[in-house]
Amino acid sequence: MPWFHHEAPSISRAEVESLCQLLLDEARDRLKCDFRRVLLLPPDLTRAHSGAGWITETLYHLLPRSCDTHVIPTLGQHVPHTEAENRWMFGSIPNHRIHAHDWRNGVTRVGVIPASKVAETTGGKADWEIPIDLNSMLVAEKWDLIINVGHVVPHEVLGFANHNKNYFIGLGGKETICASHIAAAVYGIENNLGSLITPLRACYNWAEEQFLGHLPDVFMQVVMQRDEQNQLVHSGVYVGDDLDTYLMAARRSRAQNITTFDRPVKKIVAVMQADEFRATWVANKAVYRTRMAMADGGELLIIAPGVERFGEQPEVDALIRKYGYSGTERVLGLYRTEADLRDIAHGTAHLLHGSSEGRFTIRYATRSLSRQDIEGVNYAYAPLDEMLERYSPGTMKEGWNILPDGEEVFYISTPSAGLWAAQEKLARRENP
């Protein structure tokens, strides 16, 4: 069971900060911890809206000044933060205390999830092993306490984000991330979204028990919802070191962060904030989180002023430009023959997740990518300034809007904070 949790319609920053102190008090008692060396593991800036940055800063300053405290944003394969981005997200934490995760060269192998386990959990759709390579600083250095800070929200690979995702993806190596993502992709993104225990989550739970049981760790997981003023606020904080802590948070998120429709939606307008989303790699959360709501023949318009590239790394960007978002059947067919798709398998998974499979139009409006760029990856293009004028974030309201000319659209200001689906798409979800 969790060490403790707190649920309310709205939890203030002061209350969250007091829970940070309670976490440290509990850790001292439960782990007999002297706080000589502590590691904080927050998400990266794409989840800054969750408050994880200032929560991490709070924990940092609550620890004794004599404590040797370090921070590793759980980047996974995302681009490392600049010093300015670290300051924007983590405030007064000294930059030399914040370390970039190197998913290629900064990892150590701690074990392997057997192919038989992967096949068992995926019903045979994936039948390869998943090597577990984790951040070397995490596994090779001695820590008195490791605090995972994260936002539990519907997720395309693990059903819901956070918990041990912080380790196996956020601090994972290239082989771990590639083998994991393609396994989840072939199982099916719409089979994963909104499920409490996906096949990959089951694999990670097994790996955590086998390889990470010795870590002196605790998870501080937050859940958010929109208040009456349409602001994202904390509605749940869950602190503990077991699977039940995750499940309690995920059930809260499932109840609060999934919007269902009686029938599929013809047009959705989604906004991806410029200070968080700079590549379709992460901005495509707008696709992942709305695809189960989209009507056949409908349109998803993504207004993403900050998007300037497709992939987070040059080789992934090149892969997306080469093959485009062209559907599961084509991409998996090429995966069997093309070495670059197999070598960058997490990029291949992204191509599957980011395709509408021809069911609906995905249209991007961004400042830095041209019409030729956008259409070259099989998306549709829209001029950014025109879209900002027509669907102004300053005047659109969350949910249904009818424009002066009669167009009806569903507007989403923060797609990464939830999941939107036609009721029929969720009917098969288990509810443990």
Answer with the residue of higher pLDDT: 58 or 417: 58
Model confidence at 132: pLDDT above 70: yes
Query: Residue 9's beta-bridge partner residues?
Result: none
273-287 pLDDT, tens digit per residue, is 998 899 999 999 999
Cβ(363)–Cβ(379) under 8 Å? yes
pLDDT over 90 percentage in the chain = 91
8 contacts: CB under 8 Å, gap ≥ 6 = 235
Among 221-230, 292-301, 311-320, the range with the most confident prediction by mean pLDDT is 292-301
**Band of pLDDT at residue 430, cut at 50, 70 and 90:** low
Model confidence at 247: pLDDT above 60: yes
Distance between CA atoms of residues 98 and 43, nearest Å = 12
* 79 closest CA partner among 279, 312, 318, 315: 312
Model confidence at 336: pLDDT above 70: yes
pLDDT at 419: 96
What tokens appear for 272 in the block?
Answer: 């991806």
**Band of pLDDT at residue 313, cut at 50, 70 and 90:** confident
* 164 closest CA partner among 198, 114, 120: 198
Cβ(303)–Cβ(270) under 8 Å? yes
Model confidence at 431: pLDDT above 80: no
3-state secondary structure (DSSP) of residue 84: helix
Distance between CA atoms of residues 17 and 250, nearest Å = 22
pLDDT over 70 percentage in the chain = 99
The strands making up 217-226's β-sheet, listed across from edge to edge, are 4-11, 232-240, 217-226, 145-151, 37-41, 68-71
**Of 22-26, 27-31, 133-137, minimum mean pLDDT range:** 27-31
Model confidence at 35: pLDDT above 90: yes
Cβ(342)–Cβ(181) under 8 Å? no
Cβ(63)–Cβ(102) under 8 Å? no
Model confidence at 140: pLDDT above 60: yes
105 CB burial (10 A radius; 0-12, 13-18, 19+): exposed
Query: Residue 387's beta-bridge partner residues?
Result: none
Cβ(93)–Cβ(71) under 8 Å? yes
CATH 3.40.50.11440 positions along the chain are 4-256
List strand residue ranges (DSSP E) for 37-83, in order: 37-41, 68-71
Model confidence at 79: pLDDT above 90: no
80-122 pLDDT, tens digit per residue, is 999 999 999 999 999 999 999 999 999 999 999 999 999 999 9
4-256: CATH topology: Rossmann fold (3.40.50)
What letter would DSSP give residue 417? G
Q: What is the mean pLDDT of residues 391-413?
A: 96
Domain at 259-426, CATH homologous superfamily: LarA, C-terminal domain (3.90.226.30)
What is the overall mean pLDDT for the chain?
Answer: 95
pLDDT at 429: 58
pLDDT at 275: 87
